Structure 1
Amino acid sequence: MSDEPRGRHSRPDDETRPIDLGGGRPLATDPEPAVAAALAVVERSLAQMANRVTRPLLDPPSQPYRLRPLGRTGLAVFPVVLDASRLGADADRSAAHRVLDAYAATGGNAVLVDDAADGGAAELVGSWLTTRRRREQTVLLARVGTASDLTAAGLNTAADRLLRRLGTDQIDVLVLADHDPATVMEETLTAVAGLRDDQRIGHLGAGDHSPERLIQARVLAGQRGLPRFEAVLPVHSLLQRAAYETGVGPVAHAQDLACLPRSPLAGGFLAAAVPTRGALRRLRELDPERAERLQPLVTRRGTRIVEAIVRIAEQRDVPAAAVALGWLLTRPHIAAPVVSATTVEQVWAATAASGVHLSRSEVTGLERASAE
């Protein structure tokens, strides 16, 4: 036998080896080195394609995250927006400030509050902005219409109340919670124009508006020179896809609206808090109200989605919430999901999504699991 060293792909003439392209099934057995080498190249190419990450456009790979443009506003937001509207009910001042500190420490720069009657959350955010001197670095979004109507008087009162509670002179994005059926759209948009002219607000966002209302608002904006919506905050997640993808989504795309999905974790369900009926029973003992809220989600489809999320989370060693939010960040026109958090741990789990870049095969697996 010759002592001449063999190349990487050469082998004795009588040696045959199956070529496996993944999945454990040999594709072919061929003794020719050239054929084996070609098949090996194909194998590597297929593996690279399956593991290629789906980075958001313009995402610099050298950074764990980037600030994402908020439509045409000129504002840029962290990949996860913090909904602070529950802090007033679930946290005291020091606890609320710890949550906001944790969010800012990760690079977070966008906070949402609402015009709730008690105003506790807005006041906590306002005190944090003042004591930490964070106003200039923070994009403030405020939702109105939850505790007031959207008449001209109602809007002006709600905006002034929020500005006072937040301790600032301008709200960056005023979000109308929904269309007020008792008020014509033109009156609402005219009042918004007044707020903008007075520099009490910067831009306008829509909440639970139907596709028809978004179209109506755009027509009015074009015909009367009124403010146009620049962003929309619909309910959208792996669990609740159809309403957005067949309704608001196409309109948002056509109008170039930035989308900030609300309830992206379906009340915590997609964070793997209650993936099984057994876990639901245990939660019922600890928090009956929350268990009642999540019970309708514990279906075959819901469990399938959570299992797909958990598999990826375990492989990547990241929280399940980060995977569920990471899927949203691969969708077109999604600027950043809006996540409610009342603990530092919840903030860390959610903001970890900023560093999760799912592969194409992972995205496909999640979409198959969530197919209706």
Structure 2
Amino acid sequence: MHDDARRGAGRPDDETRPLLFAPPETPADPEPAVAAALSVIQRSLAAMSSAATRPLLDPPTQPFRLRPVAGTGVAVFPVVLDTRLLGGLPDRTGAHRVLDAYAAIGGNALVVDDAPDGVAAQTVGTWLAARRRRDSTVLLGRVGSGGLAAPQLAAAVERLLRRLGTDRLDLLVLAGEPAGTSFEETLTAGAGLVEQERAGHLVAGPIGASRLIRARVLAGQRDLPRLAGLATPYSLLRRDAHEGETAAVVHAQQLALLPTAPLAGGFLAGEAPTRSALRRLRELHPERAQRMQPLVNRRGLKVLDAVVAVAAEREVPPSAVALAWLLTRPHVAAPVVAAASVEQVWSAGAAASVHLSRAEAAALERASA
């Protein structure tokens, strides 16, 4: 039997009918307040059903679909490319090859940092100009390393735009810590950049539920633009920080989630599955090995084994499976992956065509519990 047929045969978990939550029965003549509450519950259940099952049960009709960033009019490839590693490549030609590979698989969204040296941003800028791809590329500018006070934020955006050779960022990611700066000042400064059309929409960096709520309150009180999304660490190995209160607020505010560090520094790509492999990695990349060291434990290896098992069954790289799991999670627009080689781009980009069954997703979740 053909591999595809064998994998698809007899799988009840590939059911294509959507899961429906039965709404509570409505009394014949309820009190107005009760009727309003029941209406809210019914809408919430319908939204939960759609968000929870569509990524798993609605097979794509093409290799990938662009995924909308809620409320922005922007749609991105299922894997967003973080360009921060491109500045460390030996030459610009090699960096352009990585960007070409990403574009070749359908990639259209790049994260660019306001780094002190600006090499990666300039590299992206020359590539956009040489390939004439600015209009077809979603640019996410990540700022805040130098602070999030109004003057610092404005200077960072202007510097980044100059290096990229463009006049507008599609999404502005406020990723720094507002030390010594009020959150209101940061949001107000971001609103000014949106008003000046230097940025399209604002995305929060890794902040918690209380600050997301505060941002929505300030938006209402000060007539500021609402946050469009949240860029925060999230992976099979790092679930607790997001799946608690923060997930509830993301759902309530209908924010687009852009998971960062989705491969746990390369661990979920199988780069250091054993202690001996970690020792070899330490000789070549000591900083990366140091970040991975805490993951080489019972839980980490259990999660990696589950990822590798699904990857072997589907004949795709482990990184594609780890990213595909994130694409099944509610409100996830696309994980953000840093890559420094064509091979890494291909491996990560394969996630766009991996359609996990419920049984596979459940096995990964059990391993990472």
Superposition TM-score tier, normalisation by shorter sequence: 0.7 to 0.9
Q: Does the 8 A contact of 2:79 with 2:336 survive in 1?
A: yes
Partner of 1:153: 151
Written as runs of structure 1 = structure 2, the 5 A alignment for 1:288-327 is 288-327=286-325
CA separation in 1, counterparts of 2:301 and 2:61?
35
- After superposition, what is the alpha-carbon deviation per residue over 1:235-275, rounded to whole angstroms, capped at 9, x for unaligned? 00000011110132221111110000000000000001111
Which residue matches 2:351? 353
Contact 1:65–1:354 (Cα < 8 Å) also in 2 = yes
Aligned twin of 2:63: 64
Residues of 2 paired with 1:307 and 1:83: CA distance? 26
* Residues 148 and 186, structure 2, Cα contact 8 Å, conserved in 1: yes
Structure 1 unaligned segments of length 5 or more: list them: 1-44
The more displaced of 50-59 and 115-124 is 50-59
Number of the residue aligned with 2:95: 96
Residue 142 (structure 1) aligns with: 141
**Number of paired residues?**
326
Secondary structure class of the residue paired with 1:229: coil
Task: Tell me if structure 1 keeps the 8 A contact 2:147–2:176.
Answer: no
The equivalent of 1:340 in structure 2 is 338
Q: Post-superposition, which runs of at least 4 consecutive aligned residues in structure 1 deviate over 6 A?
A: none
Tell me the CA shift for residue 55 of structure 1.
Answer: 5.5
Q: Distance in 2 between matches of 1:98 and 1:244?
A: 34
Q: In the alignment, what sits opposite 2:208?
A: 210
Measure how far apart 1:51 and its partner are.
4.1
- Whether the 8 Å contact between 2:56 and 2:328 is mirrored in structure 1 is no
Percentage of matched positions with identical amino acids: 62
Kept in 2, the 8 Å contact 1:91–1:342? The answer is no
Q: CA–CA distance in 2 between the matches of 1:295 and 1:209?
A: 26
- Once the two structures are TM-superposed, the CA of residue 58 in structure 1 deviates from its matched residue by 9.6
Cα-to-partner distance string for 1:257-297 (whole Å, 9 max, x where unaligned): 00000000000000011111222122223333322221110
More helix by share: 2
Task: Provide the TM-score with structure 1 as the length reference.
Answer: 0.84
Pick from 287, 290, 295 the counterpart of residue 285 of structure 2: 287
SS of 1:203's equivalent? strand
Give me the TM-score of the superposition, normalised by structure 2.
0.85
Q: Find the aligned partners of 2:279 and 2:67 in 1 and give their Cα distance.
A: 40
Separation in 2, partners of 1:285, 1:124: 29
Q: CA RMSD in A?
A: 1.8
The corresponding residue for 2:112 is 113
> Contact 1:82/1:112 (CA < 8 Å) preserved in 2?
yes
Residue 167 of structure 1 deviates from its aligned partner by: 0.2
1:368–1:73 Cα change, 3 Å? same
273-282 vs 121-130, which deviates more? 273-282
Match in the other structure for 2:32: none
Which residue does the alignment assign to 1:365?
363
